[in-house]
Amino acid sequence: MRVDRIRLLNFKCYEEAELGLERGVTVVHGVNGSGKSTLLEAVFFALYGSKALDDRTLDDVITTGEDESEVELWFTHDGREYHIERHLKLRGDRATTAKCVLETPTETIEGARDVRREVTELLRMDAEAFVNCAYVRQGEVNKLIHASPSDRQDMIDDLLQLGALETYRERASDARLGVKTVLDGQQEVLEDLHKQVEHKEGKELHERLNGLESRQNDVREEIDRFETQREQARNTLESAENVLERHAETREEITTLETAIEELRSKITETERKRKDANDEIRDLEDRREELAVEREELLAETDLEAGDDDAVETRIADLEARDDELQDDLNEIRVSVTETTSEIERCREAADELESKAEAAREQADDLDAKLEADAEAIEDREAKLEALEAEITAARERFDDAPIAFGEAAEHRDSLETEREALTDEIGDVTADIRTVENAIDEGERLLEEGKCPECGQPVADSPHVDVLDDKREELAELDDRREDLEVKRDELDDRLDRAEELREAERQVDRLEENRENIEQLLAEKRETLAERRDQCEQLREDAETYATDAEDERATADDLEDEVADYRAELGAINTDRGEIKDTLESLRRIAAVGDERDDLAGEIETLRDRRQDWQTMNDERRETLSNKRERKRDLESEFDEDRIETARNDKQNAENYLEQVDAKLEDLESKHDNLQNAIGAAERELEELEELRERLEGVEKRCERLESLYDEAETLQATYADLRAELRQQNVETLERLLNETFELVYQNDSYAAIDLDGEYRLTVYQKDGETLEPEQLSGGERALFNLSLRCAIYRLLAEGVEGTAPLPPLILDEPTVFLDSGHVTQLVSLVESMRDLGVEQIVVVSHDEELVGAADSLVRIEKDATSNRSRLERGEPPQAELLASD
């Protein structure tokens, strides 16, 4: 087997690292704490998982601060390739295996336990065997030598898988002891059973049973004898009791008969009395019947019936009742008519009342209208007077135009033209006044200038006054203007007068308009009033006519009511007549019904009399029968009395007493015998049971004897097996020891060829003895530290080879892994170690991995791996080195 490649992720001091390993010797070097041991541990862990961690736990291998870790290992074994992958996960503060897979060329195995089992099988080593031979951990170089012989024996036995044989031998021993315990128990049981059987056999059970049975037969016979006698006594008692019973019964019957006789006699007397009473009653009833016959004759005489028989009476009653019914119907009819007519009368009178009140109302309404008509006529007169006055006013207003310059209706236009004229005139006066003022100013200026001697017109000094006449012209012009204004002002005053007049006329026109409108209104109102008046007159007339009609109608209604009143009187007379007739019929019916009732009663009485006679006859018969019975019972009584016999009774009494006494005694005796019999029966039962028990005991005894035999043979087998395992182990160990001794001497010779040691002896208890060349012997502990280390390595290598070559034939050897094996070695011994390593390679160990600083070892390596630790990240790094060279070693 050899490791091809390993990959780590967050494994202890490695963050991410991958390393391929070659065949041959690989030396791993680096400073302390750089992670060399960790790399070897990783290989071990990849193969065996938690079993590779001793007392540490999974979380120790996960890099501090990380929560997952991965290890992958690729290896070749027996020409086939394998791959193991393990993932660890931190959950809380505990790590678990999240993934564990082993891929083999044929299958994929999952789960830590199955993977480990498969690896153990492949390498033929479990984890413990692996660290005891293939992987020599730091500081464990001397492990095997330092162990006590028995520990060493265990260790090596386990390595050689002889430990299992010891376990089997112990198991066989346990089994043997177990069988022994059971066997001892069974033998005790067997002894006990023997004792029980002997004890029971000593009791002579069969003889006892026979004696008991013959005694029981004797008792049985005696019981039979007493039972026969008891039966006889019982018979005697029975017949005596029968006689006494019969006697008692007879007496009882006589008493019963006496009572019956007495009863019969009193019943006969009673019935006779009843017969007499009935006879009296019949007589009374006949008297009553006679009285009723007389009454009927008298009543019949009062009627006009010729034949006085019941049928004629019934027929007459029926006729009269029919007649009465007819009358009743008539009566009802008339009553209905009376009611109807009476209500008709009432209706007529109410109608008359209503009509009269309507007439009254119409008249009152007409009177009211008359009053209104008068008022209307007055109002019309007033209006007519008003109209006349208005007419006069209008005429007066119009007359004012007679001497006017204009016609009626032109006043407004006229006034407007006058106003226009006046405005023009006023403007003209304004113009003239302005001219006058201008001229006056010019005159004043001229006079002032003139006084100063200047031209009044141009202001130039005037010496020779060429301009004076201009002033005069101005004065003339002013006078003309004044005149003109005066004229204009007169005209304006005139115009003002004419305007006033025009205004007056305009006012007259307006007045006429208003008055005429007023007149029109009044005329219209007047027309309306007149129309209303005419209407009211018609209405009034109509109302008076209506009143007349209502009054006439009312009178008619009253006349009708009076007529009906007469009719009702007639009806009432008729009613009286009918009631009288019905009264007579009622009386007649009453006496007729009495006649019928009397007839019925007489018939009833006849029936009653008949019944009584029959009953008397029945009683007669009954009493005859009773007398017959009575005489029978008397005879029977006499017979019974004659049967009575005192001697017989006395004998019976004595017999009974004797029998009872005997029975009492015999029962006690029999009881006694029965209990004796039962006791004997019980004793017999007990004896029989004991016999059965004896039989059972014998059967059990036989069974236990057989079991003991089987157990004994089992015990022998276990003993043999135990011995066999012990022999087998001794034999195998002897074989192994011989091989081991040979291999050990071979390797030892390789290492100590030139030294003073000759050979090593390994005995059956794995005791080691070293022979010096001079024949002296040494304990391994007596060797120097370095020698011990080499010696131990030799021993391990020997075991390693033995295991690999094995009992089952050669298997590919796993890599030999040595962690710091040179610690105790000086350079000479290192040389020996180198030759040991090389010899191992020659022996066919494909791969050897050594952690060491030693130059010589490094020099012997086929390849180098250098490990460095990054000072800042504190993570380890792997580096492949070239085959050893001086420079590399110098730098180490």
Ligand X SMILES: Nc1ncnc2c1ncn2[C@@H]1O[C@H](COP(=O)(O)OP(=O)(O)OP(=O)(O)O)[C@@H](O)[C@H]1O
Q: Which stretch binds Zn ion (CB under 5 A): 122-130, 458-466, 625-633, 795-803?
A: 458-466
Residue 35 binds: one of ligand X, Zn ion, none (C-beta under 5 to 8 A by kind): ligand X
Residues 236, 242: contact at Cβ < 8 Å?
no
Q: Does the footprint of Zn ion cover residue 458 (CB under 5 A)?
A: yes
Closest CB to ligand X among residues 67, 548:
67
**C-alpha dihedral (129, 131, 135, 137), degrees to nearest 10:** -160
The C-alpha angle 865, 867, 869, rounded to 5 degrees, equals 170
Closest CB to ligand X among residues 95, 179:
95
Minimum distance, C-beta of residue 447 to Zn ion, in the bound complex (Å): 15
C-alpha distances (whole Å) from 393 to each of 518, 527, 592, 639, 869 are: 12, 22, 118, 175, 152
Distance CA 163, CA 740 (A): 17
Minimum distance, C-beta of residue 855 to ligand X, in the bound complex (Å): 16
Minimum distance, C-beta of residue 93 to ligand X, in the bound complex (Å): 13
Q: What Rg, from alpha-carbon coordinates, does the chain have?
A: 90
Map the footprint of Zn ion across residues 436-455, applying CB under 5 A.
455
Distance CA 817, CA 131 (A): 9
Q: Which x/- pattern over 376-415 shows residues binding Zn ion (rule: CB under 5 A)?
A: ----------------------------------------
For 406, phi and psi rounded to 5 degrees?
-125, 165
Closest CB to ligand X among residues 137, 246:
137
Residue 773 known to bind ligand:
no
The secondary element (H helix, E strand) that includes residue 851 is strand 847-851
Residue 13 known to bind ligand:
no
Query: CA end-to-end span of the chain, whole Å?
Result: 30
Closest CB to Zn ion among residues 445, 693:
445
The secondary element (H helix, E strand) that includes residue 450 is helix 411-452
- CB-based contacts of 360: which residues, under 8 Å, 6+ apart? 547
Distance CA 757, CA 295 (A): 188
Residue 242 binds: one of Zn ion, ligand X, none (C-beta under 5 to 8 A by kind): none
Distance CA 660, CA 670 (A): 16
Total residues found in the chain within this entry: 892
Distance CA 575, CA 325 (A): 15
Residue 160 binds: one of Zn ion, ligand X, none (C-beta under 5 to 8 A by kind): none
Tell me which amino acid residue 760 is: I
Closest CB to ligand X among residues 15, 281:
15
Minimum distance, C-beta of residue 475 to Zn ion, in the bound complex (Å): 19
Closest CB to ligand X among residues 45, 757:
45
Residue 455 known to bind ligand:
yes
HSE-CB for 752 with a 13 A CA cutoff: 26
Closest CB to ligand X among residues 38, 722:
38
Minimum distance, C-beta of residue 462 to Zn ion, in the bound complex (Å): 7
Closest CB to ligand X among residues 59, 72:
59
Q: For 12, left (φ over 0), alpha (ψ -120 to 50), or beta?
A: left
For 691, phi and psi rounded to 5 degrees?
-60, -45
Closest CB to ligand X among residues 30, 456:
30
Residues in the interface with Zn ion (CB under 5 A) total 3
Residues 695, 201: contact at Cβ < 8 Å?
no
Residue 12 known to bind ligand:
yes
Closest alpha carbon to 829 in 781, 780, 794, 865: 794
Residue 844 binds: one of ligand X, Zn ion, none (C-beta under 5 to 8 A by kind): none
Closest CB to ligand X among residues 169, 877:
877
C-alpha distances (whole Å) from 197 to each of 708, 780, 856 are: 18, 70, 91
Q: Which stretch binds Zn ion (CB under 5 A): 456-464, 486-494, 545-553, 559-567?
A: 456-464
The structure tokens listed for 859 are: 């020099």
Residue 35 known to bind ligand:
yes
Closest alpha carbon to 70 in 28, 17, 115: 17
Minimum distance, C-beta of residue 138 to ligand X, in the bound complex (Å): 6
Residue 821 binds: one of ligand X, Zn ion, none (C-beta under 5 to 8 A by kind): none
**Residues that bind ligand X in the complex, under the rule CB under 6 A:** 12-13, 30, 32-38, 60, 63-64
Residue 642 known to bind ligand:
no
Minimum distance, C-beta of residue 131 to ligand X, in the bound complex (Å): 16
Residue 50 binds: one of Zn ion, ligand X, none (C-beta under 5 to 8 A by kind): none
The C-alpha angle 573, 579, 581, rounded to 5 degrees, equals 110
3-class SS of residue 182: helix
Residue 37 known to bind ligand:
yes
Residue 357 known to bind ligand:
no
Map the footprint of Zn ion across residues 253-282, applying CB under 5 A.
none
Minimum distance, C-beta of residue 460 to Zn ion, in the bound complex (Å): 4
Minimum distance, C-beta of residue 19 to ligand X, in the bound complex (Å): 14
For residue 697, the tally of other CB atoms under 10 A from its CB is 18
Residue 214 known to bind ligand:
no
Closest CB to ligand X among residues 36, 841:
36
Closest CB to ligand X among residues 13, 455:
13
Residue 794 binds: one of ligand X, Zn ion, none (C-beta under 5 to 8 A by kind): none
Minimum distance, C-beta of residue 116 to ligand X, in the bound complex (Å): 22
C-alpha distances (whole Å) from 251 to each of 254, 635, 655 are: 5, 15, 21
Residues 187, 708: contact at Cβ < 8 Å?
yes
Minimum distance, C-beta of residue 786 to ligand X, in the bound complex (Å): 19
Q: Does the footprint of Zn ion cover residue 460 (CB under 5 A)?
A: yes
Q: Does the footprint of Zn ion cover residue 465 (CB under 5 A)?
A: no
Distance CA 384, CA 375 (A): 15
Residue 460 binds: one of ligand X, Zn ion, none (C-beta under 5 to 8 A by kind): Zn ion
Distance CA 125, CA 1 (A): 12
Q: Does the footprint of Zn ion cover residue 682 (CB under 5 A)?
A: no
Q: Does the footprint of Zn ion cover residue 160 (CB under 5 A)?
A: no
Residue 38 binds: one of ligand X, Zn ion, none (C-beta under 5 to 8 A by kind): ligand X
Minimum distance, C-beta of residue 36 to ligand X, in the bound complex (Å): 4
Residues 474, 463: contact at Cβ < 8 Å?
no
Residue 722 binds: one of ligand X, Zn ion, none (C-beta under 5 to 8 A by kind): none
Map the footprint of Zn ion across residues 767-786, applying CB under 5 A.
none
**Unique residue bearing structure tokens 């006013």:** 393
Binding residues for Zn(2+): 455, 458
Annotated binding site: 12, 32-38, 138, 455, 458
Where do contacts with Zn ion occur on this chain (CB under 5 A)?
455, 458, 460
